[in-house]
């Protein structure tokens, strides 16, 4: 086995044996039954699990984002869901509406990606007077 192969195996072993230690927020943040997250974002003591409805985002079709927000300290609140195309320096032509469903769950409706390419989906969370923005990339063809 070459050196490169050994390194790969060593890396895999490290991931399996020692996953990153979850914080308090992460430990609290378990998706409820029937909520299969598309992604998990964590920053500044806040965790956002999200899924898109429908699961596959289709170019030019509206979709919704359901999010579960957890965090350390006071109950965190999701205040904004938005998306931009960083390379094009523009956002969506639609402003999502955001509704709390209780127990840290939120539903953002009215999103639409109107151009193919990389979109950055962002979540603004207020937690104990501090705002944290969590973001992830979504590629749409």
Partner 1 sequence: MTAPRAFTVRGVVAFLAAFLGCLAPAPVGGVVGLEDSIVRRLVAHGPWPVAAARDPSNAVSGTPAAIALGHRLFFDPRLSVNGAIACATCHVPSRGWTDGRARAVGLTDVDRNTPTILDVALQRWFSWDGKSDSLWSQSLKPIVDPREMGASGEHVAKLVASDAALACLHAKAFGPPSTEPDRALVHAGKALAAFMETVRSGRAPFDDFRDALARGDRAAAARYPAAALRGARLFVKSDCHVCHVGPAFTNGEFHDVGVPFALAGGRVDGGRFEGVKRVRADRFNLLSAWNDDRTGAAAVKTRHVEATHASFGQFKTPSLRNLVHTAPYMHDGRYATLREVVKHYSELDMERIHTHGEQLLRPLRLSSAEIDDLVAFLESLTDPAPPRMPPPADAVGACARRPLRP
Q: How far apart are CA 95 and CA 121, in angstroms?
A: 13
Backbone φ and ψ for 18, nearest 5 degrees, come out as -135, 75
Q: How far apart are CA 101 and CA 53, in angstroms?
A: 15
The smaller minimum CB distance to partner 1, of residues 28 and 90, is found at: 90
Smallest gap from residue 66 Cβ to partner 1 (A): 16
Q: Is 131 helix (H, G, I), strand (E, B) or coil?
A: strand
Smallest gap from residue 91 Cβ to partner 1 (A): 8
The smaller minimum CB distance to partner 1, of residues 2 and 34, is found at: 2
Smallest gap from residue 134 Cβ to partner 1 (A): 22
Give ∠ CA 77-21-69 in degrees, rounded to 5. 15
Binding positions for partner 1, rule: CB under 8 A: 2, 4, 59-60, 62, 87-90, 92-97, 109-110, 112, 114-117, 141
Smallest gap from residue 102 Cβ to partner 1 (A): 22
The smaller minimum CB distance to partner 1, of residues 35 and 94, is found at: 94
First to last CA, the chain: 39
The smaller minimum CB distance to partner 1, of residues 23 and 110, is found at: 110
Q: How far apart are CA 44 and CA 122, in angstroms?
A: 14
């Amino acid at each position: 086995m070459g050196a490169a192969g050994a390194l790969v195996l060593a890396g895999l072993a490290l991931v399996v044996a020692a996953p990153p230690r979850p914080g308090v927020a992460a430990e609290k943040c378990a998706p409820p039954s029937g909520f299969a997250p598309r992604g998990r974002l964590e920053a500044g003591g806040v965790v956002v699990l999200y899924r898109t409805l429908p699961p596959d985002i289709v170019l030019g079709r509206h979709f919704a984002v359901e999010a579960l927000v957890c965090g350390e300290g006071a109950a965190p609140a999701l205040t904004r869901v938005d998306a931009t195309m960083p390379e094009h320096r523009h956002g969506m032509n639609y402003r999502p509406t955001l509704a709390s469903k209780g127990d840290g769950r939120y539903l953002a409706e009215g999103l639409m990606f109107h151009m193919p390419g990389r979109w950055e989906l962002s979540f603004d969370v207020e937690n104990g007077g501090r705002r944290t923005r969590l973001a992830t990339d979504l590629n749409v063809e």
